[in-house]
Amino acid sequence: MGLDARGIIAAVQIATYGPLLFVAVFLAWWERDRRMGWAFLGVLSVLRLMGGITHVLSEYNPTNVAERTIYIIAEGAGQGPLLAATLGFLRTVSQHSLDKTLVFSRGIIVCALSGATGVILAIIGGARGTSATTWDEYNDNVTLRHVAIILFIILFSGMLCIVMYCWMNWNSILRYRRRLLIAITMTVPFLLVRIVYGVLSAWGPATVTFVGGHQVPVRPSNSGLGKFSAASSQWGIYFVMSVMMEYIAVAIYLLGGVLIPLRKEILYESEKSDGDYRSGYGGAINKKNGVVVEPA
């Protein structure tokens, strides 16, 4: 038996997030200024690999509730690391300029805690759901997943406020980090679509039923919120609103990481500071290029 459309998507995710994991780990080690962002992209890669592998396995063993539950957990929990990665890159934007302000010294921590708590609740709710033997037990764990989604919404809202704060203080941000802010801003619409899909999916119908105290996997209805379920046979909405939105956001961050030379900025700022020091002894500074001009 071959893979269906969702299985093929899962296989593609395995093929893409596998290399991304190694790239994220390397960049987290290599680029200290953007370490937080790359680290969370690595966590996202791990969750997508887990989800992809268990999804493929579940198609060959459709009665296995645990495998189906794992990929549904990974699908929902992955929103947290993606949003947290955005926070990490915003932290990079603020370095040497806004990082001492209350918004960044406290706001980033509050948002990060919301995201981390959301991921934990999503995993706990999904894991406990596999051992539920009644609808009451199952619904209690679904509630945990709903709380997780609410925390992700709080995280996204906080992230959006921080982005707006950065734009309001554009002139205070270092030159090359402004480019990173532009890249982050470009991802906001795609992250919003991803969050909307996560909300609709979390409030969709159950993917199991109970027979004699045991869970039996079922395909949810393709009407109403059922079409947004991670187990729905309508894969188009899932592919566009979830998979593609994440791919686009990750691609923007990768391009930003490669094309925005923060190391060059450090040299620029160093030369500029050195020029300011020299100017006290008759030197002059080219403010446009940050180049020291010695007196004649």
- pTM for this structure? 0.82
Which conformational region is residue 213 in: left (phi greater than 0), alpha (psi within -120 to 50 degrees), or beta? Answer: left
pLDDT per residue over 41-91, tens digit each?
999 999 999 999 999 998 888 777 778 788 888 888 888 999 999 998 998
13 token code pair: 């995710």
Sign of CA dihedral 114, 119, 124, 125: positive
Q: Does the pLDDT at position 183 exceed 60?
A: yes
Packing angle of the helix pair 35-60, 65-77 (nearest 10 deg): 150
Packing angle of the helix pair 135-168, 175-202 (nearest 10 deg): 160
Q: Does the pLDDT at position 281 exceed 90?
A: no
- Residues whose CB falls within 8 Å of the CB of residue 245, separated by 6 or more in sequence, listed in order: 190, 191, 193, 194, 197
pLDDT band at 261 (very low <50, low <70, confident <90, very high): low
Of the two residues 265 and 228, the one the predictor is more confident about is: 228
Share of the chain above pLDDT 70, in %: 88
Residue that is written with structure tokens 């209690």 in the block: 140
pLDDT per residue over 124-177, tens digit each?
888 787 777 788 888 888 888 899 999 999 999 999 999 999 999 999 888 888
In CATH, what is the architecture of 5-260? Up-down Bundle (1.20)
Least confident residue range of 5-19, 172-186, 248-262, 279-293: 279-293
- Going from N- to C-terminal start, the domains of the chain cover 5-260, 264-296
> What integer best gives the mean pLDDT of the chain?
82
Average pLDDT over residues 30-37: 79
